[in-house]
Amino acid sequence: MELPFGEIKEDLLKMKFSSADYSVATVIAGIREHLDVIEEMGVEFLGVETEVHSGPRITFTPVPVVAYFRCREKNCNEILLKVYKLIWKGVVLNFPDEIEWAEAKSYFADFVSSQADLLMARVEAEREE
């Protein structure tokens, strides 16, 4: 079953987020918000993964943040759809307010800018050799 930000295949729910919108911390906090309920529903949280870029990037490229859940019950589609909705509720409840979000984005932009400066310095140093 295809979902707007994920999919359900047999007993597995895969939820997809983007690091451009949500940090891994926000996703995990959203899961933690309802983890006790999810476990009571017979669903196991399997973990969260992100991609790791190989080598330096010239520009910021968002990576997928993917969370996995496995259902141990018979009517998995129905249960996993409820889990999907609960996780989104948790992500929304844990998302920072506008001021905190803007500050975090500003700090992240400073971090990316610093990485770019470092990359440019390395390129210049290699040219001089």
> Helix (H, G, I), strand (E, B), or coil: what is residue 53?
coil
Count of C-beta atoms within a 10 Å radius of residue 1? 12
d(CA 77, CA 25): 27
- C-alpha of 83 from chain center: 16
Give the residue from 9, 11, 1 showing the smallest Cα distance to 71. 11
State the pTM of this model: 0.75
71-80 pLDDT per residue, tens: 999 889 999 9
21-54 pLDDT per residue, tens: 888 888 999 999 999 999 999 999 999 999 877 7
Q: What are phi and psi of 118, to 5 degrees?
A: -65, -45
